[in-house]
Amino acid sequence: MTDPADDLIPSVFARDCTSRHVMADVTGKWGGLALAALHDGSYRFNALRRRVDGVSEKMLAQTLQALERDGLVVREVQATIPPRVEYSLTPLGTRVAGKLKELIDLLESEIGQVRVAQAAYDDRFHP
């Protein structure tokens, strides 16, 4: 039996829309960073944790599980001793991560302008 909500037009502005939940996973504190890192290629868990500086083991595991459930990340267990687990992007994950990388590149290239705005704000509201 299908859910009647499945027939609705997706909108991240609708509280119960699946797209809003996926958007939260992608744009959460660690989701975007994990996707952007995986855009560079596959990673083992600990290597990805080192790449995403500051994330705890627990938070990275939860983030990767959510992104895997959303169809953005693939967890591949290789039959070695000890087992080797690698994470990579699905085709959809690659498209999403590409957009995030564009945003990251824009922010990093304009960080000087951001710092000027922050300093002006701080001078005005926190003299």
Query: If you write DSSP's letter for every residue of 31-54 in order, what string do you get?
Result: HHHHHHHHHT--EEHHHHHHHSTT
Name residue, tokens 């083991």: 57
pLDDT at 3: 60
Taking the whole predicted model, whether its pTM rises above 0.75 is answered as yes
If we measure between CA atoms, which residue out of 50, 97, 47 comes closest to residue 71? Answer: 97
pLDDT at 5: 55
**Which whole number is the average pLDDT over 52-81?**
96
113, two tokens: 């302008």
**Which whole number is the average pLDDT over 74-87?**
92
**Which residues are within 8 A (CB) of 115 and not within 5 positions of it... i.e. 6 or more apart?**
none
Checking DSSP bridges between strand 73-78 and strand 43-44, what pairing results, if any? Answer: unpaired
